[in-house]
Structure 1
Amino acid sequence: MPTLLETRIRNRFWVEPHHANSLGTLHGGNLMMWLDEVGTMSATRFAGEPCVTASVTELDFERPLHVGDTALVESYVYDAGETSAEVALRAWRENPRTAETERTTASSFTFVAIDESGGTVTVPELRVETDEGEALRERARSR
């Protein structure tokens, strides 16, 4: 049984001009794709099986990311069903020179574990063994 902290993944993406809209800020669709990719990694690590996106429970864009920023994306599984994993996602705008961050996005996605034929498969029970893991779970549930 995997622990919550074992599913935690942080990844960075450089916001380049081809990711931007006419205002010089990151297209929301690009950020959604990055959230989905990192969330899939957490869900797959948890399930031990390939996972696909079933739903986006919420997606709040709080402030923009600009060309030249680094998008820092964090995900972790905070709850599980019989065949699904609930993944908390957050993104920050990070200054690549100073490492200063400012949260830009909060979201929650549901992923479903599948087998080779596309049928759903059972996922393990999620363990939360540390105070840090419990705090992350409560933060995700309270959204």
Structure 2
Amino acid sequence: MATISETFIENRERIQPNDTNNYGSAHGGNIMHWMDEVGALCAMRHAGETCVTAYVNNLDFKRPVPQGDTCVITGYVYATGRTSLRVRLQAFHESPRTGEREQTTDSYFVFVATDESGDPTPVPELEVGSERCETLRAAALAGEGRE
């Protein structure tokens, strides 16, 4: 049984010209793609199985990620069902020179664990664990229901 912090993943993508739209910032579809990849990795780390995207909730683009900045994606599993895993995902733009960071995107994805035949398969329960885990879980639960 994994803890919430054991599912935490952080990944970075440098925003290059081919990642941008006409306004010089990252395409929203690219950010969603990167979030989906990190979310699947978080889910698979807990489930120990292949996990597929089932649902995306509240994909809020709050600010653009400018070309030349780094897009930092963080994610972690904060709740599980019988075969599903709920993952909190956030994106930030980060200055590669200073490390200064600002949140740009927030979302909640649901993944389903699948077996070798592609059928849903049970996942282990998620252990909250430490105070940090409880803080992460509380933040995710507080934000997931907003519309």
* TM range, smaller chain: over 0.9
User: 2:80 — aligned with what?
Assistant: 80
User: 1:47 — aligned with what?
Assistant: 47
User: 2:127 — aligned with what?
Assistant: 127
User: 1:70 — aligned with what?
Assistant: 70
User: 2:16 — aligned with what?
Assistant: 16
CA shift at 1:58, angstroms?
A: 1.4
CA shift at 1:21, angstroms?
A: 0.4
Please, what TM-score do these two structures have when normalized by structure 2? 0.96
User: 2:90 — aligned with what?
Assistant: 90
- Deviating beyond 4 angstroms after TM superposition, the runs of 4 or more aligned structure 1 residues are none
Is residue 2:144 matched to residue 1:115? no
For each residue in 1:102-122, what CA deviation from the matched residue of structure 2 results, as whole angstroms up to 9, or x when unmatched? 000110000000011100000
CA distance in 2, matches of 1:130, 1:61: 30
User: 1:36 — aligned with what?
Assistant: 36
Please, what TM-score do these two structures have when normalized by structure 1? 0.99
For 1:40, the aligned partner's letter is A
CA shift at 1:57, angstroms?
A: 1.3
Secondary structure of 1:45's partner?
helix
CA distance in 1, matches of 2:132, 2:98: 26
Secondary structure of 1:107's partner?
strand
Unaligned runs of 5+ in 2: none
CA distance in 2, matches of 1:105, 1:24: 17
Percent identical:
51
Q: CA RMSD in A?
A: 0.4
Unaligned runs of 5+ in 1: none
CA distance in 2, matches of 1:98, 1:57: 32
CA distance in 2, matches of 1:124, 1:104: 32
For each residue in 1:69-116, what CA deviation from the matched residue of structure 2 results, as whole angstroms up to 9, or x when unmatched? 100000000000000000000111000000000000110000000011
CA shift at 1:138, angstroms?
A: 0.4
